[in-house]
Chain A
Amino acid sequence: TQLLEQSPQFLSIQEGENLTVYCNSSSVFSSLQWYRQEPGEGPVLLVTVVTGGEVKKLKRLTFQFGDARKDSSLHITAAQTGDTGLYLCAGASAGKSTFGDGTTLTVKP
């Protein structure tokens, strides 16, 4: 069974602060996706990473895929209240996708 552990489970910060959330597994993934989900809505795909060591940037969000393709991180610079939400990672391997339980981020004004 593939497991994806996300940490921290909850994170509350002030607007303007930086933060990093993590997605870790003992399994190797062919690709990994990050999503953001707001209450009452479905997840929104932010990025897909496929190459070990890959770094992708989306405005203030920086995504990194570990060299061994077992872990990933999401760094947000100068967080805004609009970044509030549940951040989910999902790893794909052998035709199966495994979702983590997510990190709930609250950015206070």
Chain B
Amino acid sequence: NAGVTQTPKFQVLKTGQSMTLQCAQDMNHNSMYWYRQDPGMGLRLIYYSASEGTTDKGEVPNGYNVSRLNKREFSLRLESAAPSQTSVYFCASSEEFRRTQPQHFGDGTRLSIL
């Protein structure tokens, strides 16, 4: 049972490049989340999805888009990467229909924007 799987684990981009971070969960959870973790700022919610086809903005959605393709997968896209988006990105899931209680996190994608 893999839980929440994120790919890639590491990525270096140049300013202006685009990329998609992938996330999949195998626990049949309803809610999925994207967070970023930065030193001194804690974990901040980027986007939340309560179910397939629905997404809600979190605290810091600017510069990001998301897609809930099906119940398993929730992707995060950076259309034009900026140095301020250098961070560690975590995907999470929860069986609860709540945007405030992520239960299972992936191991993160470490993203550097040069």
Contact = CB atoms under 8 A, between A and B. Distances in A.
B43 A41 contact: no
In terms of DSSP, what is the predominant structure of the interface of chain B?
A: loop
Contacts of B42: 4, 88, 98-102
Interface residues of A, number: 22
Contacts of B44: 99
In terms of DSSP, what is the predominant structure of the interface of chain A?
A: strand
A34 to B, nearest CB: 12
Interface in A48-83: 48
Contacts of B107: 40-42
Interface footprint category on B: 20 to 34
A46 B98 CA distance: 17
Contact of B106 (A4, A42, A92, A101): A42
A48 B102 CA distance: 11
Interface of A: 4, 31, 33, 40-45, 48, 88, 90, 92-93, 95-102
